[in-house]
């Protein structure tokens, strides 16, 4: 919000600037308050964020978007949504019954699709990211069945990968909704995760995957593939593993054409 006048030519200026950002800028005022239109837009955004947090996860919807891909469904130790929101620690633990259903093997990577704080983000974007990333990995990669995790947080992937014997895990999770985005998907890569030991410093994160306003699927998949490949070469992920795809693209742009 701003105290600058928004009349005449200023209206056109702010309107032009708003095309480049989802931030609420140059909204003006009606008396001492926001104009009613912008106040209603703010309330609608708040309602969308609340709906994203509380909407139930639909694993059948995600599985249907992954035809031909084996899937496994698990729950965290949080028995319901209210407990999940109040007890973050339970969202990081695998339900003991479901642990026994996970197929163990010599997997190179397991993709975990977790509802997190926005089932909407997962329903709309997760399957496309799995498809695009798997298509970029060559035949040397042994891909585990995709795990669909309910009431799950990022660290639940550590438990899942450890139980399955996977060398790396990519957790695709619904991010905390904001007032400008309720459908933002995050991707967290962890190499050699250890439940209770691995910290956020051992992870690499791609955020705001949500075309057309956020990161496109193809770009996210290219970055994930590069990070997975480099993590396997180095034997670790996290703060010492950098995304170099932007540097590669920049160097390519400077080559003579």
Binding residue ranges: 154, 175, 205
The C-alpha atoms of residue 107 and residue 103 are separated, in whole angstroms, by 10
Inter-residue contact 112 to 171 (CB < 8 Å): yes
Q: What's the chain's length in residues?
A: 257
User: In angstroms, what CA-CA distances link 99 with 53, 57, 76, 166, 210?
Assistant: 25, 19, 10, 14, 31
First CA to last CA across the chain, in angstroms?
46
Binding positions for adenosylcob(III)alamin are: 154, 175, 205
Inter-residue contact 198 to 190 (CB < 8 Å): yes
The DSSP bridge partners found for residue 150 are 75
3-state secondary structure of 209: strand
Query: Tokens at residue 24, please?
Result: 């609420």
The C-alpha atoms of residue 22 and residue 20 are separated, in whole angstroms, by 7
Within 10 A of 98 (CB to CB), how many other CB atoms are there? 19
Inter-residue contact 165 to 144 (CB < 8 Å): no
The C-alpha atoms of residue 109 and residue 166 are separated, in whole angstroms, by 6
């Amino acid at each position: 919000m701003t105290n600058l006048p928004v009349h005449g030519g200023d209206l056109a200026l702010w309107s032009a600037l708003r095309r480049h950002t989802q931030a609420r800028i140059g909204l003006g005022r009606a008396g001492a308050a926001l104009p009613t239109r912008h106040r209603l837009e703010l309330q609608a955004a708040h309602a969308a964020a609340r709906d994203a947090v509380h909407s139930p996860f639909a694993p059948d919807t995600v599985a249907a978007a992954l035809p031909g891909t084996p899937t496994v469904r698990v729950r965290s130790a949080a028995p319901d949504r209210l407990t999940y929101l109040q007890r973050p620690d339970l969202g990081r633990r695998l339900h003991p019954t479901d642990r026994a259903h996970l197929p163990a093997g010599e997997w190179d990577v397991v993709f975990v699709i977790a509802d997190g704080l926005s089932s909407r983000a997962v329903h709309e974007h997760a399957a496309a990211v799995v498809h695009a990333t798997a298509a970029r990995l060559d035949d040397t990669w042994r891909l585990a069945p995709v795990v669909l995790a309910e009431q799950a947080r990022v660290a639940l992937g550590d438990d899942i990968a450890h139980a399955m014997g996977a060398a790396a895990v990519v957790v695709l999770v619904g991010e905390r909704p904001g007032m400008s985005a309720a459908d933002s998907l995050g991707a967290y890569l962890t190499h050699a995760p250890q439940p209770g030991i691995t910290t956020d410093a051992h992870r690499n994160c791609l955020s705001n995957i949500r075309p057309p306003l956020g990161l496109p699927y193809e770009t996210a998949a290219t970055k994930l593939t590069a990070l997975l490949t480099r993590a396997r070469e180095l034997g670790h992920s996290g703060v010492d593993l950098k995304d170099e795809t932007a540097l590669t693209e920049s160097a390519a742009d400077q080559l003579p054409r």
